[in-house]
A and B are shown apart, each in its own frame.
Chain A
Amino acid sequence: MRAFVRINLLWILIAFVGDTMVGPMVSFKGVRPDFSIIALVVLGLAAGSLPATVGGFVLGLVQDLANPALLGLQALCKTWLGFGLGRLRGRLVYCMPLVEGVVILLAVLAHDLVFLLVQSRLGDEAFLVPFVTQALPTALYSGLVGVPVVRLAALAGILKPED
């Protein structure tokens, strides 16, 4: 029970504080780390696919509320992302910052790929330009910033290899 509370507190904190407070401060030319996905990676690796699926859905839904025209899209993307990340739990080489960074990078890319495909309605320009100018730099930045966050989670005893 204590681990459950700790994990949930941590990922909510990462998503909330990261997106609302840290994100704007570390924003570089409009590109900032996607803390919601970093939080989802932490949740997925720490708790598995069921909590990550539900957490991803809630997180995406909250983000969708700021953009009602696409209500449900972020929820859908993050639901599947959470499920996939949860499936990775126990199958990764732990304590390898490079692995964690790559997981975050790929998670952001996968999320943005689906999101932009739906948002652009499969239009070339509407998909490619934001994918190259926004999604790729965001994925790289998130991968860099996410590593210390995941390491902190590991230090806090939330990520354990034996899980």
Chain B
Amino acid sequence: MRREAVTPSTRDRTLALIVCTVLALTLMLLPGNARILVADRLGRVLTAPYWSVRTFLDDMAELRRENTDLQRELALRELQAQAAARGQRDMERLAGPALEAGFTGDLVPCRVVMRQSARFATMIKIRSAEPVDWEPWLPVISRLGYLGRLKTVISPLEAWVELMSAPDFALGVEFPRTGLLGIMRPRADRFVVEMVGRDEDVQAGEMVITSGVAEIREDGAESLVSAATPRGFPVGTVAHASSPNDQVFMDIGISPLATCDFNETVFVVMPLAPAGPAVGTGRP
């Protein structure tokens, strides 16, 4: 009944057809230039908003791609500069020619697509723009420093990353000022460096980097090899360092440099060549 009330009559339908036809024919019969001008004016009202939004979004996507490439390039340059400075320091303290000054590899820019909303997140999901031949335990960094490592590969485009804050996480670290080694672990809501003797020289505010020395994990020798993180990625700065009287090792807390609080590009560190079996096990 209600539908019948709004059903147009035959006269209305015919009138609409005639009006639309006349309008269309009028537009068709306009002289060439006038037709284009009319189309242009109509376009400003009817389609320009859509095209503006679409062009803007396309530009944004392009800008994002370019930004990602630039960030990757910048991160690479920064790591190379840090490695050069570190190599210089290593030479000054006669650390030996076998010590690797920094990583040699490539950075794959990725976008964080999922992360826990909890303050102390332990995993993030990342997505690469291009398929990557990645494998578990590859390091993941941001421009600020080390974030974690690949935990589970979902596909050549997506993977889950275990952050430094994961409960069973352990990372071989180094104090580059002295070359001192330690193991970084998360403890409740802070990060500590363990296995540093109580008489060693560690000062608040000094930098902590990855040591390139693999930590020993419980799941066998295979992961020992693949878990090696290249030397030189900034991890954090020493927040406090003390030597309690009743302990053999120092109590060192660090403030991590990289966080996942911001939506930014992260990089998976890909080796240039398959990792060899040789993994350092002690002080160089």
Contact = CB atoms under 8 A, between A and B. Distances in A.
Interface of A: 3-4, 20, 48-50, 53-54, 56-57, 60-62, 64-66, 68-73, 75-76, 79-80, 83, 86, 163
A50 B23 contact: no
A20 B27 CA distance: 25
The range of chain B's interface size is: 20 to 34
Interface string B119-134: 0000000000000000
Interface string B23-44: 1111111101001101110110
Interface of B: 3, 6-8, 12-13, 16-17, 20-21, 23-30, 32, 35-36, 38-40, 42-43, 46-47, 54
A75 B30 CA distance: 14
B28 A53 contact: no
Contacts of B43: 65
Nearest to B35: A71
Contacts, number: 83
A83 B26 CA distance: 19
Majority secondary structure, A binding face: helix
Contacts of B8: 48, 50
A71 B30 contact: yes
A76 B25 contact: yes
Contacts of B25: 72, 76
A105 B29 CA distance: 30
Nearest to A70: B28
B55 to A, nearest CB: 13
Contacts of A79: 17, 20-21, 24
A69 B40 CA distance: 11
